[in-house]
Amino acid sequence: METQLTHGAAQQKYLEILRRVECPERDRHPLHKLYSYPAKFQASVPELIIEGFSGPGDIVLDPFGGGGTVSVSCRLMGRSSVHYDLSPLACLVTLAKTTFIEDREASFVKSEFSAAAELAGAFFPAAARNASLGALFDAEERHMMGSFVAEAAEGVWQLAQRLKDAGSSAAPLVACLLVRFLKLCGRRDAVERRDRPVRAHLEWFMSEYAKYAAATNAGGPPRTIHAVRCASNHQLELEDRTVALVVTSPPYSGVDIEYSEIQIQRRDIGRCYRSLAGVRVANLFFEGAPTKRGLCDGGVPGVRNYPENARRSLLEMQRVMIPGAFAFVYCGFKDDAGRDGYEKLLAGTGFELVDRIGVRLSADRGASSRSLHHGRDTNMMGRDWLFIARKV
Ligand SMILES: C[S@@+](CC[C@H](N)C(=O)[O-])C[C@H]1O[C@@H](n2cnc3c(N)ncnc32)[C@H](O)[C@@H]1O
């Protein structure tokens, strides 16, 4: 496509973006590695876009924010960000990645973990347990995870709640590490991990916490603002014409992705259980229990219509953008008809399509779940596209 972007000052940056989309670099900053959210952007793609198409202090919006790659990139690059996602888990992950932890909080939590590890079995005093919090696991989850994992996880669940009640900036990180711990312990190959004693699990928390707490406060408190909203992007709490750039990756039409549930896979007993424990943890911070279909269809439950949901999201994006601002939308479709339909939606919601890039399939995916799997195309999607649109 011949476009304005292939000429003039923006050309160099634009060509770099094109190259990067096809060959993304692996994430390097630890904050991007805190939690592997499904269909996550490789940060090198949004970073280049943010650098080239926004300025210091600008507001960048990701209306399908997922695990917060755009927000973290903004934080690292001195832009403010607004993240929207329907999923409480996505919002918890983003909050954990973007919250600055004061030194005092960082050391307090470190000492809690090391004291708990010393006590091992008698983890966190019973007196500190909050009975009204309810259980983290149901009986089946407890059974599938085993008692060592359950005891460690339930202790950290109580700690996250206490920190949250005390207004500690460390609370989201502790909660996010708990979800990551559950995900790791649920894996098919986690037999040895599940059998570790409680103390070993707590030592894992201690070292992961130290690493990520240091990453969140490296460079001092951010001078930018990072809003995390657990709500549908069909109604954004933003004034008209305030957003300088949109970088986003909506769910792919017709593809089932497990955004919220954690699988507990027990090959030894031939069982797999889909657990909502991660959402329970996230509900300490954000309300909501969206369905898998609601998240994959891109909208509110009850509106099971991908194009209609997409149209509502685009209209809101358009409303809040500054005229002339760019939206980079990375999405995939099973066939050209799906892609053409999306382009019509862009045109019908007040965007000019400046360019679209078909993303070559490579071992390192740029954003989608679609990559070469052991060198083989799983053919899950027809093709990924990066749409570059401008608010008219
Ligand atoms: C492909 S993922 C985004 C991943 C993200 N780019 C990252 O780097 O982690 C799409 C996200 O859109 C969210 N979502 C779907 N419909 C939504 C809506 N109407 N409003 C807000 N978020 C929505 C899903 O919950 C999911 O987290």
CA 206 / ligand 1 centre spacing (Å): 30
64 lines ligand 1 (CB under 6 A): yes
35 burial via Cβ count (<10 Å: 0-12, 13-18, 19+): buried
Q: Cα(99)–Cα(173) distance, rounded to whole angstroms? A: 8
Q: What is the pLDDT of residues 257-311, one digit of tens each?
A: 888 899 999 998 999 999 999 999 999 999 998 888 888 888 866 656 889 999 9
pLDDT tops 70 at residue 390: yes
Q: Cα(370)–Cα(375) distance, rounded to whole angstroms? A: 12
Q: What's the pLDDT band for 181 if we cut at 50, 70, 90?
A: very high
Q: What is the pLDDT of residues 302-347, one digit of tens each?
A: 656 889 999 999 999 999 999 999 999 999 888 889 999 999 999 9
Q: Cα(89)–Cα(283) distance, rounded to whole angstroms? A: 8
249 lines ligand 1 (CB under 6 A): yes
Counting from 1 in the atom list of ligand 1, the atom nearest the Cα of 299 is: 19
| Range name among 165-179, 203-217, 303-317 with the lowest pLDDT average | 303-317
CA 63 to chain centre: 12
86 lines ligand 1 (CB under 6 A): yes
What percentage of the chain reaches a pLDDT higher than 70? 87
pLDDT of residue 290: 84
User: Nearest C-alpha to atom 5 of ligand 1 is from which residue?
Assistant: 66
Q: Write down how long the chain is.
A: 392
Report yes or no: 295 and 251 within 8 Å, Cβ to Cβ.
Answer: yes
At 333, give phi and psi (nearest 5°).
-135, 150
Q: What is the pLDDT of residues 364-381, one digit of tens each?
A: 555 554 444 455 555 555
Report yes or no: 208 and 243 within 8 Å, Cβ to Cβ.
Answer: no
- Amino acid occupying residue 41: F
Q: Where in the chain is the domain with CATH 3.40.50.150?
A: 4-87+224-254+297-349
Q: What is the pLDDT of residues 40-59, one digit of tens each?
A: 888 999 999 999 999 998 99
| Range name among 63-67, 253-257, 281-285, 356-360 with the lowest pLDDT average | 253-257
Quote the mean pLDDT of the chain: 88
pLDDT of residue 371: 47
Q: What's the pLDDT band for 87 if we cut at 50, 70, 90?
A: very high
CA 205 / ligand 1 centre spacing (Å): 28
User: Nearest C-alpha to atom 19 of ligand 1 is from which residue?
Assistant: 299
Burial string for 82-94 (b: 16+ CB within 10 Å, else e) reads bbbbbbbbbbbbb
212 burial via Cβ count (<10 Å: 0-12, 13-18, 19+): buried
Decide which of 3.40.50.150, 1.10.4000.10, 3.40.50.12280, 3.30.70.560 is the CATH code for 4-87+224-254+297-349. 3.40.50.150
pLDDT tops 50 at residue 249: yes
Q: What is the pLDDT of residues 125-160, one digit of tens each?
A: 554 556 666 789 999 999 999 999 998 998 899 889
User: Nearest C-alpha to atom 4 of ligand 1 is from which residue?
Assistant: 66
What percentage of the chain reaches a pLDDT higher than 90? 61
User: Nearest C-alpha to atom 12 of ligand 1 is from which residue?
Assistant: 64
46 lines ligand 1 (CB under 6 A): no
71 lines ligand 1 (CB under 6 A): no
Report yes or no: 364 and 24 within 8 Å, Cβ to Cβ.
Answer: yes
Tell which residue, 332, 319, 345, has the closest CA to residue 371: 332
Give the residue with greater pLDDT, 63 vs 223. 63
pLDDT of residue 122: 56
| Range name among 109-123, 177-191, 286-300, 338-352 with the lowest pLDDT average | 109-123
